Amino acid sequence: MSYRIEEAAYMQHAQAVQSASRSTAEYRALDAAHHIHPFSDMGSLNRSGSRVIVKAQGVYLWDSEGNRIIDGMAGLWCVNVGYGRKELADAAYRQMQELPYYNTFFKTTHPPVIELSALLAELTPEPFKHFFYCNSGSEGNDTVLRIVYQYWTAQQKHTKKFVVSRKNGYHGSTIAGGTLGGMGYMHEQMPSKVGNIVHIDQPYFFGEAQDKQTPEEFALARAQQLEAKILEIGADKVAAFIGEPFQGAGGVIFPASTYWPEIQRICRKYDILLVADEVIGGFGRTGEWFAHQHFGFEPDLITLAKGLTSGYVPMGAVGLHDRVAKVIIESGDFNHGLTYSGHPVAAAVALANLRLLRDEKIVERVKTDIGPYFQKKLRDTFAHHPIVGEIAGVGLVAGLQLAQDPAARRRFANGGDVGTICRDFCFNGNLIMRATGDRMLLSPPLVVSKIEIDEIVSKAKAAIDSTARQLGAA
Least Å distance, CB 172 to ligand PXG, is: 3
Q: Which is nearer to ligand PXG, 200 or 209 (CB)?
A: 200
207 is a contact residue toward ligand PXG (CB under 6 A): no
Are 216 and 254 contacting, i.e. CB atoms less than 8 angstroms apart?
no
By C-alpha distance, which of 440, 424, 444 is closest to 388? 440
Of 75, 112, 137, 389, the one binding ligand PXG (CB under 6 A) is 137
Q: Which stretch binds ligand PXG (CB under 6 A): 81-89, 137-145, 191-199, 218-226?
A: 137-145
Of 85, 130, 161, 171, the one binding ligand PXG (CB under 6 A) is 171
Are 253 and 245 contacting, i.e. CB atoms less than 8 angstroms apart?
no
Are 303 and 318 contacting, i.e. CB atoms less than 8 angstroms apart?
yes
Q: Which is nearer to ligand PXG, 244 or 390 (CB)?
A: 244
Computed on alpha carbons and rounded to an integer, the radius of gyration of the chain in Å comes to: 23
Angle 25-31-35 from CA coordinates, rounded to 5°: 175
Least Å distance, CB 419 to ligand PXG, is: 12
Least Å distance, CB 153 to ligand PXG, is: 25
Map residues 210-239 to x or -, x wherever contact with ligand PXG holds by CB under 6 A: ------------------------------
Are 282 and 390 contacting, i.e. CB atoms less than 8 angstroms apart?
no
Is beta strand 197-200 parallel, antiparallel or unpaired with respect to 273-277?
A: unpaired
Question: Rounded distance, CA 293 to CA 71, Å?
Answer: 26
Map residues 21-50 to x or -, x wherever contact with ligand PXG holds by CB under 6 A: ------------------------------
Q: Which stretch binds ligand PXG (CB under 6 A): 170-178, 230-238, 337-345, 396-404?
A: 170-178
Angle 291-292-294 from CA coordinates, rounded to 5°: 65
Q: Which is nearer to ligand PXG, 133 or 468 (CB)?
A: 133
By C-alpha distance, which of 232, 222, 286, 300 is closest to 260? 222
By C-alpha distance, which of 214, 238, 227, 300 is closest to 265? 227
Q: Please give the backbone phi and psi of residue 92, each rounded to the nearest 5 degrees, phi first.
A: -65, -45
Amino acid at position 161, single letter: K
Of 79, 88, 273, 280, the one binding ligand PXG (CB under 6 A) is 280
Question: Rounded distance, CA 130 to CA 473, Å?
Answer: 53
277 is a contact residue toward ligand PXG (CB under 6 A): yes
Question: Rounded distance, CA 340 to CA 192, Å?
Answer: 26
Q: Which stretch binds ligand PXG (CB under 6 A): 27-35, 274-282, 405-413, 420-428?
A: 274-282
113 is a contact residue toward ligand PXG (CB under 6 A): no
Q: Which stretch binds ligand PXG (CB under 6 A): 44-52, 136-144, 358-366, 408-416?
A: 136-144
279 is a contact residue toward ligand PXG (CB under 6 A): yes
Q: Which is nearer to ligand PXG, 130 or 171 (CB)?
A: 171
172 is a contact residue toward ligand PXG (CB under 6 A): yes
Helix (H) or strand (E) holding 277: strand 273-277
302 is a contact residue toward ligand PXG (CB under 6 A): no
Are 249 and 234 contacting, i.e. CB atoms less than 8 angstroms apart?
no
Q: Which stretch binds ligand PXG (CB under 6 A): 106-114, 166-174, 374-382, 386-394?
A: 166-174
Are 432 and 70 contacting, i.e. CB atoms less than 8 angstroms apart?
yes
249 is a contact residue toward ligand PXG (CB under 6 A): yes
Sequence-separated (6 or more) residues with CB below 8 Å from residue 232 = none
Least Å distance, CB 335 to ligand PXG, is: 22
Map residues 303-332 to x or -, x wherever contact with ligand PXG holds by CB under 6 A: --x---------------------------
136 is a contact residue toward ligand PXG (CB under 6 A): yes
Question: Rounded distance, CA 275 to CA 244, Å?
Answer: 8
Beta strands in 135-267 (DSSP E): 162-166, 197-200, 238-243
Least Å distance, CB 351 to ligand PXG, is: 19
Three-state DSSP at 80 gives: coil
Q: Which is nearer to ligand PXG, 181 or 406 (CB)?
A: 181
Q: Which stretch binds ligand PXG (CB under 6 A): 130-138, 191-199, 394-402, 456-464?
A: 130-138
HSE-up of residue 55 (Cα within 13 Å, Cβ side) = 8
Of 244, 288, 390, 438, the one binding ligand PXG (CB under 6 A) is 244
Sequence-separated (6 or more) residues with CB below 8 Å from residue 21 = 54, 64
Query: What is the total count of residues that contact ligand PXG (CB under 6 A)?
Result: 17
Q: Which is nearer to ligand PXG, 180 or 468 (CB)?
A: 180
Of 80, 117, 124, 138, the one binding ligand PXG (CB under 6 A) is 138
Angle 6-12-15 from CA coordinates, rounded to 5°: 140
Residues making contact with ligand PXG (CB under 6 A): 76, 136-138, 141, 170-172, 177, 244, 248-249, 277, 279-280, 305, 434
